[in-house]
């Protein structure tokens, strides 16, 4: 029974891989647009985190200097 489940999983994985590769080649510019949007989002989140960390460090230095 386990062998049958592994076979089903392998077949499902192969079909998903083939469909994914086909979709990426067929809709390449859509994939590029998604990647551009994710890059912009990552830059916003990363910049916000860096700003928060910098402000916290400045506040800690001020508190320890007093």
Q: pLDDT digits over 12-39, tens only? A: 999 999 999 999 999 999 999 999 999 9
Per-residue model confidence (pLDDT) at position 1: 64
Per-residue model confidence (pLDDT) at position 55: 95
Q: Please, are residues 31 and 24 in contact by the beta-carbon 8 Å criterion?
A: yes
Q: Which two tokens stand for residue 43?
A: 């830059």
* 57, burial (CB in 10 Å: exposed 0-12, middle 13-18, buried 19+): exposed
Residue ranges of the domains in the chain?
A: 2-65
Region 26-55 average pLDDT:
96
Per-residue model confidence (pLDDT) at position 51: 97
41-46 long-range Cβ contacts below 8 angstroms, 24+ apart: none
pTM: 0.64
Q: Which two tokens stand for residue 42?
A: 């990552």
**For the chain, what's the residue count?**
66
Per-residue model confidence (pLDDT) at position 52: 97
């Amino acid at each position: 029974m386990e062998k049958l489940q592994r076979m089903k999983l392998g077949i499902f994985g192969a079909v998903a891989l083939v469909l994914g590769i086909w979709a990426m080649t067929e809709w390449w510019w859509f994939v590029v647009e998604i990647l551009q949007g994710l890059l912009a989002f990552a830059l916003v989140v990363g910049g916000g985190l860096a700003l928060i960390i910098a402000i916290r460090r400045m506040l800690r230095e001020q508190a320890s200097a007093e």
